[in-house]
Amino acid sequence: MLQIRKSGELVGLLCLVCSLATAACGGGSSAQAELADAGRSDAESSERDAGDADMRDIGEQDADAALAGSYRSIFAGADGEAFFVTYHTDEGVQLFGLDVDGTWSEVQLPEPLRRDPLLVLTSVVTTEYDLLLSTREQGAWRRQRDDPQWQAFNPDWFDGSGQITHLKKLRDRIYAFHEVEPNSPTGIELWQRRQLDWEYIRNDMFMIIDYMPREEMSVRATRYGTIEVSYDAGETWQAVPEVQGTLPPQLFEWGESVAVMTTSGVWLTGGEDNHWDKLSIHGGEAGALLGDELVVANRSGEVSAVSLADQSVHALPSLDPSIIQTLQLGVVGERMVVATSHSRVLQLSAASSQWEKVDPQASISGRLAR
């Protein structure tokens, strides 16, 4: 039985995605994860073995489907109100959205993006006012929440040089990464929007993969796999030697604290004295916040969750490691964590003890046919 708890109550549904060489499925996020697994009864072990067999069947069934089209990337809103997955074919790309009620719908992409089979979306962000997305090669785009027409995203400060390569939502602000000179240490600018007003932050974002500005302590993760903190609004930075890992870290704003996940572990800090505690949960490739828990998944197929309240760890239904190459993990609302694979979206609900296959296209077609 899935145990996603908030204040002692079951609240969640979990879904994972993974990419395969010939098939795809699985669970997680673009980084990596390993987790502690509590002892299970013989009945639970048998149930898990049956689930693993089902996962192997999924991989075999998806081999042919992956040739026709594949689900590639997932994007989950920081506030848990929206979740998106891309579907790629030789003819182009589709974007599907999942709302907090568990209903799938297609989000029509701008024409130039929809017809580009090589399109790489880097972020999808929802706000009170608009829907924003960024790409690796075709800049950023915007549309109002109640208007299906897309426009190139050109804020007042954007003069057309370079391109906006990534957008990030944190609390009530939007952060835009503007790549002006890709190979320059100062060639990537960071801007922030609060309400509808933009403010320039800094231009030393070279090699920064994640950035979490906070009043008392800002945190950034680098492509070198290091974590750095600043207590003077980003003027000076110092490394956090306790945090270690083999892949670029992922940052999570967890209550009043900041959590860092790498392949080597999960660390938590309150931010006052730069003291970081390593939690008992193992590290991983993929992580996501679900209520007051951090869910972590890894390439070995283990999926676990750690509680913010008492740092206790409990195991979730696992995945067959033979079908996992990359992991992506996302959350919708407080009741859902979702992930996809190259040819399948997988979902785990509180009422289920194993992963379920979900096909957004088929879900929409079936609803329209009724």
> In total, how many domains does the chain have?
1
Between 82 and 153, residue with greater pLDDT? 153
Examine the pLDDT at 116 and tell me if it is beyond 90: yes
Q: Using a pLDDT cut of 90, give the percent of the chain over it.
A: 22
Q: What is the pLDDT of residue 50?
A: 38
Q: Using a pLDDT cut of 70, give the percent of the chain over it.
A: 72
Mean pLDDT for the chain overall:
75
Q: What is the pLDDT of residue 189?
A: 86
Q: Which domain holds residue 242?
A: 5-369
Write b or e for each residue in 74-113: b if 16 or more Cβ atoms lie within 10 A of its Cβ, otherwise e: bbbbbebebbbbbbbeeebbbbbbbeeebebeeeebbeeb
Location of structure tokens 């701008």: 110
**What's the CATH number where 170 sits?**
2.130.10.10
Segment 50-75, tens digit of pLDDT = 334 343 343 444 434 444 578 888 88
Between 16 and 240, residue with greater pLDDT? 240
Split at pLDDT 50, 70, 90, the class of 261 is very high
Examine the pLDDT at 219 and tell me if it is beyond 60: yes
Split at pLDDT 50, 70, 90, the class of 257 is confident
pTM attached to this predicted model: 0.76
Examine the pLDDT at 106 and tell me if it is beyond 80: yes
Single-letter residue type at 281: I
**Residue 360 host element (H or E):** helix 360-369
Helices (H), 69-175: 111-114
Examine the pLDDT at 134 and tell me if it is beyond 90: yes
Token code pair at residue 352: 């289920």
Max avg pLDDT among 112-116, 123-127, 198-202: 112-116
